[in-house]
Structure formats: structure tokens, C-alpha cells
Amino acid sequence: MKKPTLFTGVATALITPLTKDGVDFDRLGKVIDWQIEKGINALVICGTTGEGSTLSDAEHRAVLDYAAKRAAGKTCLIAGTGSNDTAYAIDLTKYACDIGYDGMLLVTPYYNKATQNGLVKTFTAIADESTKPCILYNVPSRTGVNIEPETYGALADHPMITSIKEANGNLSKIVETVKIVGDRLDIYSGNDDQIVPILAMGGKGVISVLSNVLPTETMEMCNTFFRGDLKGAMAQQCRYLPLINALFSEVNPIPVKAAMAALGYCEDYLRLPLTPMEPAHKEKLLALMRAEGLKV
């Protein structure tokens, strides 16, 4: 049975502005307001780009709470609540459900990894406790394990598992997933360089890093496709590819933090083990941003 679509278009995987003293809530509010002003379709809070893995539990909950209140009723809100500690993921998911989030983003357990059977049991355990739709987030370059198409198939009929953020980079595997799950799960691109290819396979949109910097343009790429202008959407995908590559020239969110700092939305501050962008990479990134008319 087809489940309701959580969002269509672009969800910004939002940065979390930080300083040496902690979360910069003033700037977090400003970046949330700017994204909403631009009409973004959804916001993901405390995901990979939001440095959720280096926030303390108290900080993680405080950021989720602040964003929920700031953006209430203004856009679809998705909480990053996945963890390699399943009990903690369940607890954080229940908290995000209680404070008003529309959906949960559940990353594949990292470091300790899992068998495919372990993934089925883990995601089922979390989704069983969620009262909101869950997006399964597959990013094997970070977690060390891939969610196989057959595993998606085994999870697709869970009433609270509604969609996939697919960042495995393997379009053949994504085609295989589409064949297996049909319309039982919505698929979102987790890679900005594959937005249009995944839309062409029936995807509903993208959970994007690029849209931190270019929200309007990223949404227009999707909207161009949805209007039936495949050639135009392909041209936009190709146009922004150099900037996308620069935003991933070092591990995310190092480059996007540098970009957003240059735009005045945060300090260029990250927590170890992440460090500020290398000067040569940063110079190229800023040059590409200027080429798109951004004042940096």
C-alpha cells in the first residue's frame, strides 16, 4: 500500500552553527528563517551536515527543540535521530516525535555495523516506537555497510518506514531497489550530484547539502524536472556540478561550513575530528560561489 509522501522537492540538511562555547542558537535561528523565507520544502535538523554525531545528548535535544519551535507550521521538519546505539536512537526518536517533528532520519548503524538481518531488526525496532514517518538513510561511505535492495524490500511494508535517503552512489543498486520496493517507499537522493538521475527513476526529491548555499536554485532544479523539462533539469544539474564537487572536496560538512561562514550564517568552526577547510580547496569553493553571484 502506498504511504503518504513526507515531502516533495528539497529538504536542506541544515548546518548547526557552532562556536568554541557551544551551539550558536542566534545564528541557527537566522539560517532556519532564511531557508523558510526561500520556501524550502523541508529541513533536516541534526543530520550528518548538522554535526549530530558530535553534539552531546543535551545539545542534540536542545537543537531539535529550538528548531521545532522556530519552524513550527512553516515547513516540513525532519529530525536526525539515528545512531549506532539502537536504544539511544529509539529514545531520541520518541523525543523528536513528542516535540512535533514530521519525520525521522535514521542513519544506518555505523562502526559496529550490522548484517542485513541486523539492519532489518534495528530499523524495525526504532520504527515500532516512532509515531512519525521514518526515512532510512543509507550512506555506506560513512557507516561501512550498505542497505541492500532486498533489505529495503523486507522493510517496505512497515507502516512507519516510508522512504529512503539513498547516498550509496551506485545507480544500479538504486534501480534494483526501485524494482523491488515499487511505490511502497519513496526515494530521495542523498547526493547532490545525482538529484536528476534519481528523480528520473521516480525519486521524490533530495536531502541536500547544496541547498544550504543555494536553496532557490536547488528547488528550481527539482521543479524544472517536475514540470516535465528533463533537458532543462539536466542542464541545471550539470551547471551546479562544479560547486557540488567543491562542497564535497573534503568530508561533509567541512566545505559547507566554510561556505556558510563566508555568507555570514555561522563561524567557520567544527568540532574535532573535523577541522576547517584547507586553503586551496576553500579558495576554489569561494570562487565558484562568486561565479553563482553569491557575495563572499
* Cα separation, 296 vs 293, whole angstroms: 9
| Residue of 3, 132, 137, 188 marked catalytic | 137
Catalytic member of 3, 132, 165, 284: 165
- Dihedrals φ, ψ of 89, to 5°? -60, -40
Total residues belonging to the chain: 296
Q: What are phi and psi of 101, to 5 degrees?
A: -70, 150
Answer yes or no: are the C-beta atoms of 218 and 10 closer than 8 Å. yes
> Distance between CA atoms of 6 and 9, rounded to whole angstroms?
10
Question: Who's near 142: CB < 8 A, 6+ residues apart?
Answer: 48, 107, 110
- The three cell numbers of residue 266 are 555561522
Burial 127-157 (b: 16+ CB within 10 A, else e): beebebbbbbbbbbebbebbbbbebbbbbbe
Contact 139, 108 (CB under 8 A): yes
The helix/strand/coil state of 105 is strand
Q: Which residues contact 80 (CB under 8 A, 6 or more apart)?
A: 44, 45, 46, 47, 48, 50, 52, 105, 107
Rounded CA-CA distance 174/216 in Å is: 27
Residue 152 is a catalytic residue? no
In the residue annotation, 113 being an active-site residue is answered as no
Q: Which of 2, 32, 40 is nearest to 133 (CA)?
A: 2
Q: Which residues are tagged catalytic?
A: 137, 165
